[in-house]
Amino acid sequence: MNGNAPIDLNKHVSLIYAEGVFGSQARAKFPMRAKTADGILRYASYPIGGIVDSKATERSAKEVLRAYLENCKNADLPIFSSFKEAQTKTRATILILGAAPEGGELPKEWEDDIVWALEQGMHIVSGLHYSLKENEKFRHAAEKSKAVIWDVRSDVNLQEIPICSAKAYHIKKPIVLTVGTDAALGKMTVSYELYKAALQKGIKSCMIPTGQTCIMIEGWGYSIDALPADFMAGAVEKMILEKDAKEYETFFVEGQGSLYHPAFSNTTISLLHGAVPTHLVLVHRPQRKHSIGSSLVKLPSIPEAIAHYEAAILPRYRNARVVAVALNTAGMTDEEITNETRRIEKETGLPVGDAIRDPDFVRRALERIL
């Protein structure tokens, strides 16, 4: 596998399957469940035919995602209420599962749609926690039609992943990792906004995908929290070393978890130790006061978090610095945003802002890196 997709997403038309969870009504109840679909729509450069969700009342992606899809090539993509109709109209040859089903179990209707897709010879891309290939029905249908199932989280050959030895330290180019005062704040989004801005400046930069959504967008990568503990940091190290060998100039490493989330902190520290970053961008959501992982864990102040993350890197003489504080301002009033931004700017002396709403913040953050 080598961390690469077994299918070239650029040579196909994909459909994003988010049955029952993409529309704004479902979203009000389960805000995180279509996260993968959202990320792909905003950042993927490969051809996409549309989204499948029979329960959505909206008819296009931007009706649901609004500002999030501004200036995005996928904003006008149709939402289909029938998968078969979507397939016929778009002639898509890849089905991307863009959402996690409720409770984790595959509902019967998803199963039927997946089998039908495989029977048509459509390839499937899945970021679900379990391997679709382990379902006999799916495997059988795929074998018959020669369709490929890419299980993004589990298609991994451990023999090609080294045990981390902090080798990325030898790379003297910017390695930029996003870290957070908590998990699930939008670290991937911040990494992407910085990456896109670096590309626009003509810098040969790349994303280092560490979770399923980013892997589905980029067509390669390792889902770090799906690997055995001993290999987690090594997988990050390997990805950066390989891109370095291909003469990329700047690496944007998708952050995971948080040192302040009791269950996901292990993935965070593996990224800090595997990537050996030169620059950190701290992501924070002012409205969140406690970790989503535990109401016992009060989130740190920004200066505390900065000191903690900077001290966690190995080797410590790398002297990586937090160079910007990215705010997730969803749900805040303009006044609240201004006040919080000014307060943290004063407290830290760093660029502070929302990477989605404030391109000037992204520009200023990037100036501290390149």
Residues in contact with a copy of itself by the rule CB under 8 A: 163-167, 169, 224-230, 232-234, 259-260, 262-267, 269-270, 273-274, 291, 293-298, 300, 308, 311-312, 314-317
Q: Which is nearer to a copy of itself, 69 or 128 (CB)?
A: 128
Q: Which is nearer to a copy of itself, 54 or 131 (CB)?
A: 131
Q: Which is nearer to a copy of itself, 103 or 331 (CB)?
A: 103
Q: Which is nearer to a copy of itself, 28 or 229 (CB)?
A: 229
CB 41, CB 77: distance < 8 Å: yes
Residue with tokens 């967008």: 217
CA–CA distance, 185 with 255 (Å, rounded to integer): 10
Q: Which is nearer to a copy of itself, 115 or 269 (CB)?
A: 269
Burial class (CB in 10 A: 0-12, 13-18, 19+), 91: exposed
CA–CA distance, 143 with 257 (Å, rounded to integer): 37
What residues form DSSP beta bridges with 15? Answer: 50, 95
* Shortest Å distance, C-beta 304 to a copy of itself: 8
- Rounded to 5 degrees, φ, ψ at 50 are 160, -175
User: Which DSSP helix (H) or strand (E) runs through 280?
Assistant: strand 279-284
- Distance set, CA 86 to CA 3, 13, 204 (Å): 30, 11, 36
Q: Which is nearer to a copy of itself, 42 or 187 (CB)?
A: 187
Torsion angle in degrees (nearest 10) through CA of 284, 186, 249, 228? 100
* Shortest Å distance, C-beta 266 to a copy of itself: 4
Q: Which of 113, 112, 116, 111 is nearest to 145 (CA)?
A: 116
* Shortest Å distance, C-beta 319 to a copy of itself: 13
Q: Which is nearer to a copy of itself, 20 or 255 (CB)?
A: 255
* Shortest Å distance, C-beta 306 to a copy of itself: 13
* Shortest Å distance, C-beta 38 to a copy of itself: 22
Non-local CB neighbours of 281 within 8 Å, separated by 6+ positions: 176, 177, 178, 179, 190, 191, 194, 322, 323, 324, 325, 326, 365
Kindly state the DSSP code that residue 55 receives in the 8-state scheme.
T
Q: Which is nearer to a copy of itself, 59 or 307 (CB)?
A: 307
* Shortest Å distance, C-beta 162 to a copy of itself: 9
* Shortest Å distance, C-beta 330 to a copy of itself: 24
Non-local CB neighbours of 335 within 8 Å, separated by 6+ positions: none
* Shortest Å distance, C-beta 170 to a copy of itself: 8
Helices (H) and strands (E) in the chain, counts: 13, 14
CA–CA distance, 195 with 204 (Å, rounded to integer): 10
* Shortest Å distance, C-beta 275 to a copy of itself: 10
Q: Which is nearer to a copy of itself, 40 or 233 (CB)?
A: 233
Asked if the peptide bond before residue 315 counts as cis, ω within 30 degrees of 0, the response is yes
Q: Which is nearer to a copy of itself, 314 or 337 (CB)?
A: 314
What residues form DSSP beta bridges with 282? Answer: 179, 325
* Shortest Å distance, C-beta 331 to a copy of itself: 24
